[in-house]
Amino acid sequence: MQFRELKVPHALEITPVQRGDDRGVFMEWYRHDLLAEQVGHPLTLRQANTSVSRRGVVRGIHYADIPIGQAKYVTALRGAVLDFVVDIRVGSPTFGQWDSVLLDDTDRRAIYLAEGLGHAFVALTDDATVSYLVSDVYRPEREHGINPLDPDVGLVFPDAAGDLILSPKDTDAPGLLEASDRGLLPTWDAANDFYRSLNYGSGA
């Protein structure tokens, strides 16, 4: 299992080792001990989600209030998505920046993002099936969104996505700067205080 730090602090790309033979393929797509070595603490799992999306569907940008937020470990079980992590922590040295990882059923990579980061993806195939391991249960009163088409974020959707399909919830979400002005975003300091409580280190 290989880990690569993304340009957004506290986000990782994970590439599993696949072992194939004439029967098929076996791999470890999640290892709590190896992830803990990377982030400095075990990932507490409280919920697992699966979404199935047609080509062009955009889900996100979503995030949860901290504490306790919702860390995510995400992979594609079928098809392909381009997965985005967005730094929405006000005061972060990479505030407003994003990185992306191709998740598909060929390389079978995963992405990890810490609490307080924004998450989105666009489906590049029909029936793109995505699995999420998350550190807290869904709490609708603490869940928020940023419009994924916000030009201040500037997500780049590949041509392979075709025509984009978004939910009214996501298109009605505020832009990044509006959400910041309204006090809806986590702060870098609050995020790091929470990370220290989990023994991550500050990442500064």
**Looking at the domain assignment, is residue 202 inside a domain?**
no
pLDDT band for position 202 (50/70/90)? very low
**Looking at the domain assignment, is residue 204 inside a domain?**
no
Closest CA to 65 of 36, 100, 92, 89: 89
CATH of the domain at 121: 2.60.120.10
**Looking at the domain assignment, is residue 69 inside a domain?**
yes
pLDDT tens track for 82-98: 999 999 999 999 999 99
Mean pLDDT of the residues in the chain? 96
Contact 157, 115 (CB under 8 A): no
**Looking at the domain assignment, is residue 203 inside a domain?**
no
Q: φ and ψ at 38, to 5 degrees?
A: -80, -40
Question: Does position 66 have pLDDT exceeding 50, yes or no?
Answer: yes
DSSP 53-85: E-TTBEEEEEEE-TTT---EEEEEEESEEEEEE
Contact 73, 46 (CB under 8 A): no
What confidence score (pLDDT) does residue 80 get?
98
Domain that holds residue 61: 2-197
Q: List the catalytic residue out of 32, 41, 112, 132.
A: 132
Q: List the catalytic residue out of 10, 62, 112, 119.
A: 62
**Looking at the domain assignment, is residue 176 inside a domain?**
yes
Q: What is the pTM of this model?
A: 0.94
Number of domains forming the structure of the chain: 1
pLDDT tens track for 18-45: 999 999 999 999 999 999 999 999 999 9
pLDDT band for position 200 (50/70/90)? low
132 is catalytic: yes
**Cis before 140? omega within 30:** no
Instruction: Please state, in angstroms and rounded to a whole number, the distance separating the CA atoms of residues 128 and 81.
Output: 7
